[in-house]
Chain A
Amino acid sequence: MSAANRGDFGREFVHLNMLITDWLVWFFLAIAIAFFIYAATQPHWREPWQRLLKNRIATISIVILGFYFVLGLLDCVHFMQGSQLVSLLDLILKPLQHGDEKTYSAPFSLNLYSINDPQRLKYATSHLIDISQRPADIFKHVVIGFFEGLISGLFIIVLLTALLSFIKKYSAKHSLSKLIRGKTINAWRPAVLVFLFIWVIIFICGNLAAYYHVLGTDKVGYDVLYQAVKSIRTGLLIGTLTTIFMLPLAIILGLAAGYFSGWPDDVIQYLYTTLSSIPGVLLISASVLVMQIYIAGHPELFPSIAERADARLLALCFILGITSWASLCRLLRAETLKLRELEYIQAAQVLGVSRFAILWRHLLPNVLHIILITIVLDFSGLVLAEAVLSYVGVGVDPTTLSWGNMINSSRLELAREPIVWWPLCAALVFMFGLVLSANLLSDALRDALDPRLKD
């Protein structure tokens, strides 16, 4: 972090300046990849995985989530450009940063959103002389964006298919024709179509965004589309980092309580009963309140606004994690109690395998599916919770771009005459896409992993 004040030697002096949350997200990603590599080598994991991929809804959700994650991860590589902290995503979103208008403007509007004084926008749409040129201009950019997106998207799909067929030693032509006819074993055709659709939309928006405010501007003239896309990072961070904090507690305590009965079990049960007796929102609010006071009282620890906001976000994830491990812990304890009595564990004990080895090698792998389902299930709840917490005033820092903050600041604008609906709608739609795909995926995952449903 000390790199921040090394500063501005050349005009475009660039060096990496990752925030703490950035590192943690990449750490989370590394764990996830490690898990997938592990799961791919295990036959009992390969089977549910294949079952999952045969599910159309699952593959579509994975593609949508993939887009969110790629955008979010690009936003998790920060570096200093001159004296400004920017991320890779900022570079991609360059066309959206025309400069800030004065105040509200409607989507695709040429003027500010004001009855008395509808001035022309300062930055966007300056290439048009008057409004009669607009339909033709929009049409032109949509068509260009459509073909750019279609061609590049198709190119990516063909390339990927060829690459995969080459690795698996199939004929690429054969795989492609199977994909087009929808004859692949896994449900790839719908997923590819959704991929193409979103890819084309992104290109159309990208083309339009260079000349228009596609989703309008907000009260202080920021581009709403830019805000909504930048908010993805916050949503993903809350969904993933919380699990990083929650998992070790839940796994270690849950397995220990189930396996070593007696006093460890009593103590751990007491701990999670006490913690889950406190109404969740109250505990979270109280903790966040305390954290806010701490951060406000120690300004010397956080030299820049970005770092303070980052610390608040991290602390919020930490608090959410600390307050939400109890339910997973209870599930794991119950499952461990059941597994402990099975013959293979008893056999391991008789053979003199150490307790730690039994926990690590025999119990943990057999509760992994519960952990995986919980992570995906919690994810959507956490993204939704962020919005509510921001509304209550105990969410992320007000300077952090997040859907909760967007909703919160634009909520009162519905009472304006005429109404300002676009910031609200943008935040809700972006959030809805992420939460819906996570919910659908968690359903599909549960169906694929739950042995009870296996006939």
Chain B
Amino acid sequence: MFAYLLRRLIYAIPILIGVNFITFALFFMVNSPDNIARAQLGSRHVTTEQIQLWKKQHGYDQPLFKNNEVTGFQKYTQTLFFEKSVDLFSFNFGKSDQGRDISRDIGERMWPSLALAIPTLIVGLLLNITIALFVSLFRGTFFDHSTMILCVVMMSISGLFYVIIGQFLFAKMLQWVPISGYQNGWQAWRFLILPVLIGVISGVGAGVRWYRAIFLEEMNKEYVRTARAKGLSPWVVLSKHVLKNGMIPILTGIVVVIPMLFLGSLIMESFFGVPGLGSYTIDAIQAQDFEIVRAMVFLGTVLYIIGLILTDISYVLVDPRVKLNN
């Protein structure tokens, strides 16, 4: 198991290099260091010397991929790509274009993101699984069909609709909760309850369908027939056997998203003014702040890979038949 994990971690390195290369190429090929310098210094009345100075100060004065002025291995290490990558790999994200420390920003903004994402995940999961269990209990009935149609209808509504209508109804008309904003500490619940609710509702359609499919697949298996044949009631079979076995795909599906919770939800956070990483990213995108977007892409990839490895581990923990030897 340990050897397997080690190998998975080593596999992650070329992927991270690849991701890093993609983002680097995206940003620096179109937006050359000269352009960045010009944008930062203000586009008018900038002399070449000023640009050179700025590039030197901010470490943009190396060539992109290959340095022909030096020899040997340094040809590749004394380049912008190498230096920027080393910074990222050591999680030193540097400064944003506004001069703020990105690592510290991320450390601060992580918590509001989690405060929003974790309740949404848990409540959504419980609700979706409960509904899906009921629906699969009444498989083929009118209840099943109408719930499924309702699910498709809910899936077809734009997520923006839920946010806009929810905000309008609960915050503006009924004034139960503030429209947007955030407060640290326990007082945050007043601000979080609406986005959590909306996040759960907008995910119900797809979630119930997904879990129902999992349960139905389990219910078609032999052991369910055996359990029914020996006289267990459908409800007992469902809650004791099907739910337990269905947990394997459910759990592994969740584990992969857990690390991604740190990234927050772009839409929810920016609509509700939650100062998390999602709104951080959106602000950076709208302000065209490359350093932040690059850091977030890298962070997201690292978290995704961690999620995949955790998924493998959880397979072993949940399903004794799985062994991670090869």
Q: Who on chain A is nearest to B217 by CB?
A: A452
Is the pair B160, A277 in contact by a Cβ cutoff of 8 Å?
no
- Which residue of B15, B167, B300 is within 8 Å of A273 (Cβ)? B15
Instruction: Give the docked Cα–Cα distance between A31 and B167 (Å).
Output: 44
Contact segment of A35-43, A120-128, A336-344, A390-398: A390-398
Contact in complex: B160, A285 (CB < 8 Å): no
Q: Of B26, B161, B164, B304, which is within 8 A of A279 by CB?
A: B304
B297 at the interface (CB under 8 A from A): yes
Does A155 touch B at the CB level, under 8 Å? no
Nearest B-chain residue to A276, judged by Cβ: B304
Residue of B nearest to A434 (CB): B156
* Chain B residues within an 8 Å CB radius of A424: 164
Given contacts A279-B260, A279-B301, whether A286 and B156 have CB atoms under 8 Å apart is no
Which of A69-77, A173-181, A355-363, A407-415 interfaces with chain B? A407-415
How far is B281's CA from A282's CA once the two chains are assembled, in angstroms?
8
Q: Pick the residue among B161, B168, B260, B281 that contacts A428 (CB under 8 A).
A: B161
Q: By the criterion CB–CB under 8 Å, are A277 and B172 in contact?
A: no
Q: Chain B residues with Cβ under 8 A from A440's Cβ?
A: 152
Number of interface residues of B (CB under 8 A): 42
A287 to B263, CA, bound (A): 19
User: Which residue among B18, B23, B160 has the maximum number of chain A CB atoms within 10 Å of its CB?
Assistant: B160
Give the residues in chain A near B304, CB-CB below 8 Å: 277-279
Q: Assess whether B293 is in contact with A289, with CB atoms less than 8 Å apart.
A: yes
Query: Which of A394, A411, A432, A439 is the one whose CB lies under 8 Å from B285?
Result: A394
- State which residues 284-328 of A face B: CB under 8 Å: 285-287, 289-290, 293-294, 297
- Chain B residues with Cβ below 8 Å from A285 are 281, 285, 293
Pairwise interchain contact A274-B164, C-beta atoms closer than 8 A: no
Could you say which residues of chain B place their CB within 8 Å of the CB of A278?
19, 22-23, 297, 300-301, 304
Given A279-B260, A414-B168, verify A286-B301 contact (CB < 8 Å). no
Q: Measured between C-beta atoms, what is the minimum distance from B286 to chain A in Å?
A: 5
Chain A residues in 8 Å Cβ range of B296: 282
Closest chain B CB from A122 CB (angstroms): 30
**Interface size of A as a range:** 35 or more
In the assembled complex, the CB of A16 is this many whole angstroms from the nearest CB of chain B, namely 34
Q: B135-155, CB under 8 A of A: which get 1 and which 0?
A: 000000000000000001101
Chain A residues in 8 Å Cβ range of B305: 277
With A393-B286, A436-B156 known as contacts, the answer to whether A293 contacts B31 (CB < 8 A) is yes
- Whether the Cβ atoms of B156 and A387 lie closer than 8 Å is no
Q: Which of A413-447 contact B (CB under 8 A)?
A: 414-415, 419, 424, 428, 431-432, 435-436, 439-440, 443
User: Would you call A289 and B285 a contact (CB within 8 A)?
Assistant: yes
Q: Within the assembled complex, what's the spacing in Å between the Cα atoms of A439 and B18?
A: 35
Which A residue's beta carbon lies closest to that of B15?
A274
Question: Whole-angstrom distance between the alpha carbons of A394 and B157 in the complex?
Answer: 21
Task: Kindly state whether residue B182 has any CB partner on chain A within 8 Å.
Answer: no
Q: How far is the CA of A431 from the CA of B158 in the complex (A)?
A: 8
Within 8 Å CB of A435, what residues of B?
A: 156-158
B159 x A384 contact (CB < 8 A)? yes
Interface contact A432-B152, CB-CB below 8 Å = no
Q: How many A-B residue pairs have CB under 8 A?
A: 109
Docked-complex contact B263 and A279, CB < 8 angstroms: yes
- A286 touches which one: B15, B158, B168, B293 (CB < 8 A)? B293
Q: B267 near A391 (CB under 8 angstroms)?
A: yes
Q: Are A428 and B158 in contact (CB under 8 A)?
A: yes
Chain A residues near B168 (CB-CB < 8 A)? 414, 419
Residue on A nearest B293 in the bound complex, by CB = A286
Q: Say yes or no for A281: interface residue by CB 8 A criterion.
A: yes
- Complex CA distance for A231 and B170, rounded to whole angstroms: 30
B6-30 CB mask vs A (1 if < 8 Å, else 0) is 0000000011001100110011001
Residues of B within 8 A of A289 (CB): 285, 288, 293
Residues of B within 8 A of A270 (CB): 14-15, 18
The proximity string for B residues 267-299 relative to A, scoring 1 for CB distances below 8 Å and 0 otherwise, is 100100000000001100110100001101100
A282 touches B293 (CB 8 A): yes
**Residue A227 CB within 8 A of the other chain:** no
Contact partner, A277, options B19, B153, B270, Cβ 8 Å: B19
Flag if B23 contacts A407 (CB, 8 Å): no
Are B152 and A428 interface neighbours, CB within 8 A? Answer: no
B residues less than 8 Å from A283 (CB atoms): 297
Q: Which B residues are in CB contact (< 8 Å) with A243?
A: none
A279 contacts which chain B residues (CB < 8 A)? Answer: 260, 263, 297, 300-301, 304
Q: Please judge, given known A-B contacts A384-B159, A393-B285, whether A290 and B152 are in contact too, CB under 8 Å.
A: no
**Docked-complex contact A436 and B266, CB < 8 angstroms:** no
A392 to B159, CA, bound (A): 13
A25 CB to closest chain B CB (Å) equals 23
Closest CB-CB distance, B309 to chain A, in whole Å?
12
6 closest Cβ pairs, A-B complex: A274-B18, A436-B156, A279-B300, A435-B156, A277-B301, A290-B30
What would 7 more interface pairs be, CB under 8 Å, given A278-B22, A282-B281, A440-B152? A277-B301, A278-B300, A279-B301, A285-B281, A286-B293, A293-B30, A394-B285
